[in-house]
Amino acid sequence: MSTNPTNPTTITAEEGTPYLEVVRDFDCTPAQLFRAHTDPKVVARWLGPRDLEMDVEEYDARPGGSYRYIHHGGHLGDHRAAFHGVFHTVKPDLIVQTFEFEGAPDEVVLGTYRIQEVDGRTRLITRSVFPSMAAREAALASGMEYGIRDSMDRLAELLAREV
């Protein structure tokens, strides 16, 4: 579970499937959560573990737009972790994009982000489809779960302050 007991982050990786689902409720409007996922200046403030810095080289959140960012510092030491992908759908309630860690080239993940208003909160449901079970298991083994939980907590903190 998340470190936030009020709005925990739930991560589900069902055995035998190449899927990973993340669900989290936020105390914000759907428009605020959408902006937090599409504005590169906002994305750079919450995406990734809090001990890392993030350089956004490109972030064009529109159908056919692409992105690339690099995490560095913190627990990575002198290493850098770069990610890139392409946006396919960008609507206030749905974002569909690819995601590729440059340290594992050709292992492209398809991510679907649904934004829904539920009981006065805004729910984010993320479903990632990995190209294989091995790719999903390697991502989980790399510490991805820690990064997801820390990102979701950082996003909640940011949304509570200002977005």
CA dihedral sign of residues 2, 53, 13, 91: positive
Question: Does any domain span residue 47?
Answer: yes
Predicted confidence (pLDDT) per residue in 5-39, tens digit: 578 999 999 999 999 999 999 999 999 999 999 99
Give the domain CATH number at 117: 3.30.530.20
Question: Does any domain span residue 2?
Answer: no
**Range of 15's domain?**
10-161
β-strand partners of 115: 124
Q: Pull the structure tokens for residue 129.
A: 């489809």
**Proportion of the chain in helix, strand, coil states, percent, rounded to 5:** 25, 40, 35
Decide: 43 and 36 in contact? Cβ < 8 Å: yes
Separation of alpha carbons 150 and 37, rounded Å:
16
Question: Does any domain span residue 25?
Answer: yes
Question: Does any domain span residue 1?
Answer: no
**pLDDT exceeds 90 at position 1:** no
> 3-class secondary structure for 17-52?
CCEEEEEEEECCCHHHHHHHHHCHHHHCCCCCCCCC
Total number of domains constituting the chain: 1
What is the pLDDT, as a whole number, of residue 6? Answer: 75
pTM more than 0.85: yes
Question: Does any domain span residue 5?
Answer: no
For β-strands 66-72 and 121-129, DSSP reports them as unpaired
Give CA torsion, residues 1, 125, 50, 82, to 10 deg. 130
Question: Does any domain span residue 3?
Answer: no
Predicted confidence band of residue 2 (pLDDT cuts 50, 70, 90): very low
Question: Does any domain span residue 154?
Answer: yes
Q: Which helix (H) or strand (E) holds 115?
A: strand 109-118
Question: Does any domain span residue 18?
Answer: yes
For range 96-107, the mean pLDDT: 93
Predicted confidence (pLDDT) per residue in 49-92, tens digit: 999 999 999 999 999 999 999 999 888 888 889 999 999 999 99
Predicted confidence (pLDDT) per residue in 107-158, tens digit: 999 999 999 999 999 999 999 999 999 999 998 988 889 999 999 999 999 9
